[in-house]
């Protein structure tokens, strides 16, 4: 995991993960960002889990054109200039979440930006520590907005948003979200929807997909 490998998730593993999350087949529906509700202030008493955890087994390491660590993620429109931490899958098979509300996770089982494919990122929408967190304003991102990913050696890759989609946390299509993509892409995940005070979880996930600018 720590070799900064370019990892392609196996179809079998993704299907297993999807079965954990899906009760029935689901066709993603892109929702205008203006229709996504602001989280309630009662959500601020806990840092929510970002996405229900599929069981994921990484593939063997593959060499990348640039092995510099992924360093920062920037979204100028919403004032994001975030430190990136590399995370993975915990012992329960769940995607790990950043310990700090202003950090962004890059998942080592996904593609490294220098290689292409789908580089997956996630961050908190709010936190008990500070209130609104790094992706509090992610719902304001719209098609055509630019996102930058910087490596520690100063290399920067630019991406343009192509869609933002909100899914129920119980039927999020794992394969579509964290699986391989034909084009060089990044996927950003954060919490969305209503906060359940009993489960202490949001009931939806906001997924932003962007493609590399040539």
Print pLDDT tens along the chain (214 aa): 333 333 333 333 443 343 333 233 332 333 333 333 333 333 333 334 444 444 454 444 444 567 899 999 999 999 999 999 999 999 988 899 999 999 999 999 999 998 889 999 999 999 988 999 999 999 999 999 999 999 999 999 999 999 999 999 888 898 899 999 999 999 999 999 999 989 889 999 999 999 999 7
> Which residues 6+ apart lie within 8 Å of 95 measured at CB?
50, 51, 53, 54, 56, 87, 88, 89, 107, 122
* Domains of the chain from N-terminus onward: 11-212 (2.40.260.10)
Question: Can you give the pLDDT at residue 188?
Answer: 98
Q: Which two tokens stand for residue 209?
A: 């997909």
The reported pLDDT for the residue numbered 10 is 38
**pTM of the entire structure?**
0.73
DSSP-based three-state secondary structure for 212: strand
């Amino acid at each position: 995991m720590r070799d900064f490998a370019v990892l392609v998730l196996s179809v079998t593993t993704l299907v297993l993960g999807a079965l954990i999350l899906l009760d029935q087949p689901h066709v993603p529906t892109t929702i205008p960002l203006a229709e996504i509700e602001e989280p309630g202030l009662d959500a601020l008493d806990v840092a929510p889990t970002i996405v229900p955890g599929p069981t994921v087994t990484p593939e063997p390491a593959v060499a990348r054109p640039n092995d510099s660590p992924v360093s920062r993620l920037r979204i100028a429109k919403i004032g994001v200039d975030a430190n990136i931490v590399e995370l993975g899958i915990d012992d329960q098979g769940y995607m790990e979440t950043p310990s700090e509300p202003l950090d962004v996770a890059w998942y080592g089982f996904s593609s490294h930006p220098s290689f292409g494919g789908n580089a997956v990122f996630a961050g908190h929408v709010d936190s008990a520590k500070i209130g609104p967190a790094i992706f509090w304003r992610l719902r304001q991102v719209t098609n055509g907005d630019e996102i930058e990913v910087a490596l520690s050696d100063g290399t920067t890759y630019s991406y343009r948003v192509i869609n933002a989609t909100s899914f129920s946390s119980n039927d999020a299509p794992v394969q579509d979200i964290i699986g391989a993509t034909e084009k060089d892409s990044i996927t950003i995940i954060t919490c969305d929807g209503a906060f359940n005070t009993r489960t202490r979880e949001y009931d939806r996930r906001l997924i932003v997909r962007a493609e590399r600018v040539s």
